[in-house]
Structure 1
């Protein structure tokens, strides 16, 4: 499903690197015109944020979750386990992508072992990767 150009796409970016988040947000906004991006610096903060959204208005859950693996407090794997345990998105509104600088095949295979995870994307992000991730047609 590619994002509709008129609809605002909501994205939750879960990464402990503030500089990387700043760059990722700029790139996403360049690739996608109508975006609402929220960043969480660790999995625990993201789980708390999503729990709050689920409790108040589940329709406001993000369309996409871009999840780093290596973070303090709660890493990406712990996030996925807790996300599933709490059943935060029973209607599967959010599409989860692992966004990681890890090149280890065991991380890639582990990511693909989670039914919740749509794909594993290697950092650094760039506009082309983002357009591919969101299924946006390339402009010629």
Structure 2
């Protein structure tokens, strides 16, 4: 996927620690050379992204995998805040909604955000991950 041997950086934003553990294992199995960090809600993710942006915007993650239903700040609130703060003006980061929601209104809402690349249904699988990262 990456030609310069730079790891693919991924920020996983999901309040389910067991799901995060499984997702990280699956991603590492599907995609070689990855750096994955996890945040348990949108607020923590925004704070982390702002710190990275301040330090070096080139270090922003390549991908954000975002759950919708989380405490403190949900996925929709995260997207609104991410856009409001203009965290990634260069558009480096690709955001995917990763949700167990099967409601068409959630899928349509996700597609209404220009920042969102796609809506991926949980559970993740190696095939879904490879398709997402086009490897």
Q: 1:65: which partner in 2?
A: 64
Q: 1:80: which partner in 2?
A: 79
Tell me the secondary structure at the aligned position of residue 65 of structure 2. Answer: strand
Let me know the Cα RMSD of the aligned residues. 0.7
Tell me the secondary structure at the aligned position of residue 98 of structure 1. Answer: strand
Aligned match of 1:4 in 2, 23, 30?
2
User: In the aligned structure 2, how far is the partner of 1:29 from the partner of 1:135?
Assistant: 14
User: In the aligned structure 2, how far is the partner of 1:89 from the partner of 1:64?
Assistant: 12
User: In the aligned structure 2, how far is the partner of 1:27 from the partner of 1:54?
Assistant: 28
Unpaired stretches in structure 1, ≥5 consecutive residues: none
CA apart distance, 1:7? 3.0
Q: 2:26: which partner in 1?
A: 27
Q: Deviations over 1:56-113 (max 9, x none)?
A: 1101000000000000000000000000000000000000000000000000000000
| TM-score computed with the length of structure 2 as normaliser | 0.98
User: In the aligned structure 1, how far is the partner of 2:82 from the partner of 2:130?
Assistant: 26
Number of residue pairs the alignment of both structures matches:
134
User: In the aligned structure 2, how far is the partner of 1:120 from the partner of 1:105?
Assistant: 11
Q: Which structure 2 residues correspond to residues 1-140 of structure 1 after superposition, within 5 A?
A: 3-4=1-2, 6-136=5-135
CA apart distance, 1:4? 1.9
User: In the aligned structure 1, how far is the partner of 2:6 from the partner of 2:30?
Assistant: 14
Q: Deviations over 1:103-132 (max 9, x none)?
A: 000000000000000000000001000001
User: In the aligned structure 2, how far is the partner of 1:18 from the partner of 1:38?
Assistant: 12
